[in-house]
Structure 1
Amino acid sequence: MILLLRAAVPLFLSMVMGMAGTVVVTSVLGKHDTVTLAAFAVVTAVLNPAGAAVQGALRGLGPFVAPYREDPAGAVPIVRDARWLSLATGVAGALAVLCVPALASRTGVPGEVVREMGLLPVLLAVYLLVFASTGGASTILVALGRSGDVLWSNLAFGVVLSGLTATLVPAYGLTGVGVAWAVAGTVAAVVASLCLRRALGRPIGQARPRMSEIVGLAKVSIPLAGTVLIKFGVLGVVTFAASTTGTRDTAAHAVLTTLTGVMMMASLSVAQASVPEVARARDVAGARRANRTAALLAVAGTLVGAGLLLGLGERVLVLFSDDSAVRERVLALLPLMLLSSALDAAQAVQGIGLTALKRSAASLVYFAAGYGLLVLAAVPVARTWGITGLWVAMALANGLLVVLQGTGFHRHSAKVGSPAWVRPGTAVRGA
């Protein structure tokens, strides 16, 4: 448990730093101009899922690198393969961001908002490509037991993004944000690459792509990216359903969703930190013990956050809304949101545990089943029971995922250490 905490705390702080930078951007743009903020919101509506999908794909590298913790230099061929895969996913994400203006024009976004985007989609596409060029450096560092190094790249990103945004936006608007994001991403990529070089103990160098090994990485990474896309897509449908219930309820749903994102940082950091421990387990008991410890820590972190929210209540919510009716609605739904978050934390650990076992395709199937039911129910539930019904539905969906992912992890982990079990990383050894 202590080892997991040591690995998870730097990851949690890294997420906080990343979120702090985006909060500063939103705040600066909100004070700059309403149309500018609206244009930024439209672009980031595509950037966020695209970036999360790229990041999700890169997280699939963990179980391949983890067996090399005692011999980091031996992981260099995998790191080279990972670069090719990450560049492919980065190009896909960048193309999606570049299409935002055309998509916005065809979906009825006001012309002044589309024109306000300017060079922002191009600059954010550059950012995604730069991020992808690191070849999943952060994931590799975590897998090698160097999660503390991940903090430095995210700290660099948050500080540079905040400083440049505050400096450039007054004069250049959204173009200033794009420049700030691209420069911050480049600085963070350089820091991450230097940390990775030090962790590996030798230059990464260049090599021709090994297609069979890259396909092996993709079989774990791409389903994980698909899981992220499903979650973002379904939550988007839920938000749309919430928007049909009334202005105040929509605002309350937005606040609850934001709080959920904050709550999930602890569980995601623990889940990511558990990947090397599960991947390196030599037997069934070891894999299940690491997964069980991570699940307990993730749920405990969520419960601590829940206690703080319930205790502070109004004093926290006033930061999100000046409307007392919205705050009252959020307070009334807070227990439901916290239940949904606790279940989400537990299922996330089980799902990432399946990734550590190189069974992310199974997790994708479970996610499609659980969230598929939610997307079918969202609009009818919102019309009948409002956002209260929506949050009940989300809690039920997350509860179903706990059962599906937990059962799946139990079934697949039963093969760890058996003669038929292929140790994570063995398929990609060799220079």
Structure 2
Amino acid sequence: MIALLRAAVPIFLAMVAGTVGSLIVTSVLGQHDTVTLAAFAVVSSVLTTAAAAVQGALRGLGPFVAPYREEPAAAVPVVRDARWLSLATGALGALAVLCVPLLAAATGVPGEVVREMGALPWFLAAYLLVFASTGGASTILVALGRSRDVLWPTLVFGTGVGGLTALLVPRLGLTGVGVAWVLSGLAAAGVATISLRRALGRPIGQGRPRPREILRLAKVSIPLAGTVLIKFGVLGVVTFAASTTGTRDTATHAVLTTLTGLIMLASLSVAQAAVPEVARAPGPAAARRAQWRAALLAVTGTLVVAGLLLGFGEHALLLFSDDGAVRQRALGLLPVMLLASALDAAQAVQGTGLTALKRSANSLLYFVIGYGLLVVAAVPVARTWGIDGLWTAMAVANGLLVVLQGTGFHRHSAKVGQNPGSTRSPAQAR
């Protein structure tokens, strides 16, 4: 448990650093101009989804690299394959970002907001390609037991994007944000590449694509990216459903969603740290033991944050809204939101456990079931029971995912160490 916590803390701090950087950008743009902030919000909503999908795909590399922790240099061919897959997924994400102005105009976004975007989509598409060029360095470092090195690239990016945005936006407007994003991304990619080379103990180089091996990676990585897209898409539908309930309830939903995102940082960091432990397990008992420890730690972290929120009550909500009615509404919904978050934390760990077993396709199927039911129910529930019903429905959906993913993990973990495709390391195999 202590080792897992040590591995998770740097990942958690990296996530916090990235979040702080994004908050600084939003704050600077909000003070600069409302139209500029609106344009950035539209473009970044697509960038966030695309980057999450690319990052989700890269997290599927963990179980392929983890067996080489004792012989990191032997993982170089896998790292090269990962880079090819990363560039392919990054190119698709960049294309989606470039299409934002066209999509925005077609969906009725005000013309002044579309015009304000300017060159920003091109800058952010370039950033996404830079991010993809690292080939999932953070995931690989975690898999090799070097999670401390994950903090530095994100810290460099968060500090750079926040500082450069504050410096450039007054002169260049939204273009300054694009420049800040690309320069910070390049600096972070450089740090990540140096850290990865040190962890591997040899230069990575660039070998020819190995289609069969890349396909093996894709069979685990692409379904994982699919789960991210499903979750983002369904939560978008839930937000739309919440917007039909009234202005204050919509604002309340936004506050609760922001709090959920902050709460989930702890569980997501634990989930990532647990992947190599499950992937390296020599048998079913060890894999299940590592998984239960991760689930316990993730839920505990969620409950600690929940306790702090409940303890500070309305005082904590002052950071997110100056409307007393919204704060009171959010305070009343905190218990059900915290329940939904705790269940989400548990299902996230179970889902990454399936990824560690190279069974992310099963996790994708469970998401289709659990979140498919949520997307069908969202609008009718909102019309009948308002956001109280919506957050209850999200708690139920997350609870269903805990059951489905937990059952799936138990079933598939029974095969750990029983076939040539198991997660045993080369050293263990000898």
- TM-score bracket, shorter-length normalisation: over 0.9
Kindly provide the CA deviation profile for residues 273-303 of structure 1, in whole angstroms up to 9, marking residues without a partner as x: 0000000000000000000000000000000
1:208 aligns to what?
208
Q: Which amino acid aligns with 1:174?
A: L
Q: CA deviation at 1:421?
A: 5.6
Deviation, structure 1 residue 192: 0.4
How far does residue 425 in structure 1 lie from its aligned partner after superposition? 7.9
Within-5 A mapping of 1:337-416:
337-416=337-416
Aligned to 1:226: 226
Cα drift, residue 426 of structure 1: 8.0
Does the residue aligned with 2:175 lie in a helix, a strand or coil?
helix
Q: Aligned-pair distance for 1:206?
A: 1.4
Shift in Å, 1:330: 0.3
- Tell me which moved more, 355-364 or 314-323: 314-323
> How far has the Cα of 1:200 moved from its partner?
0.3
Matched, 1:330 2:325: no
Q: What is the distance in 1 between the residues matched to 2:326 and 2:410? A: 42
Output the amino acid matched with 2:99: C
Shift of the 364–425 alpha-carbon distance from structure 1 to 2, 3 Å rule, reads farther
Residues 83 and 134 in structure 2, CA contact (< 8 A), matched pair in contact too: yes
Superposed counterparts of 1:248-263, under 5 Å = 248-263=248-263
SS of 1:124's equivalent?
helix
Residue aligned with 1:183, SS = helix
Deviation at 1:56, TM superposition (A): 0.2
Deviation at 1:107, TM superposition (A): 0.2
The aligned residue for residue 177 of structure 2 is: 177
Q: In structure 1, what is the equivalent of residue 421 of structure 2?
A: 422
Counterpart of 2:229, as a letter, is L
Supply the AA of the counterpart residue of 2:138: S
Q: Do the aligned residues in 1 keep the contact of 2:354 with 2:409 (CA within 8 Å)?
A: yes
* Alpha-carbon distance in 1 for matches of 2:5, 2:155: 20
Structure 1: distance between partners of 2:424 and 2:14:
27
Question: Which ranges of structure 1 fall in alignment gaps of 5 or more residues?
Answer: none
- Using structure 1 for the length normalisation, give the TM-score: 0.98
Query: Cα deviation per residue 1:2-59 (whole Å; 9 max; x = unaligned)?
Result: 1100100000000000000000000000000000111111111111110000000000
Alpha-carbon distance, 1:313 to partner:
1.3
Q: How does 1:181-330 map to 2 (within 5 A)?
A: 181-330=181-330
5 Å-filtered alignment, 1:146-165, equals 146-165=146-165
Give the equivalent residue in structure 2 for 1:28. Answer: 28
CA–CA distance in structure 2, aligned partners of residues 149 and 168 of structure 1: 29
Q: Is the 8 A contact 1:65 1:425 kept in 2?
A: no
Distance 2:420 2:406 in 1: 19
Question: 1:235-263 CA deviation, whole Å, 9 max, x = no partner?
Answer: 00000000000000000000000000000
CA distance in 1, matches of 2:273, 2:6: 9
Gap change, CA 1:138 and 1:425, over 3 Å in 2: farther
Q: Percent identity?
A: 78
Is the CA contact (8 Å cut-off) linking 1:66 and 1:144 kept in structure 2?
yes
Q: Is the 1:64–1:425 Cα contact (8 Å) retained in structure 2? A: no
Maintained 8 Å contact 2:317/2:327? yes
The list of structure 1 runs, each at least 4 consecutive aligned residues, that deviate by more than 2 angstroms after superposition, is 424-427
In structure 1, distance between residues paired with 2:44 and 2:162: 17
TM-score, normalised by the number of residues in structure 2: 0.98
**Equivalent residue, structure 2, for 1:97:** 97
Name the CA distance, whole Å, in 2 between partners of 1:239 and 1:249. Answer: 11
Counterpart-to-counterpart distance in 2, 1:426 and 1:6: 22
CA distance in 2 between counterparts of 1:228 and 1:3 reads 27
- Could you tell me how far apart the structure 2 residues matched to 1:363 and 1:60 are? 12
Q: CA deviation at 1:424?
A: 3.4
Give 2:207's aligned amino acid.
Answer: A
The equivalent residue for 2:54 is 54
* Partners of 2:226 and 2:364 within 8 A in 1: yes
Q: For residues 113 and 206 of structure 1, what CA distance do their matches in structure 2 show?
A: 42
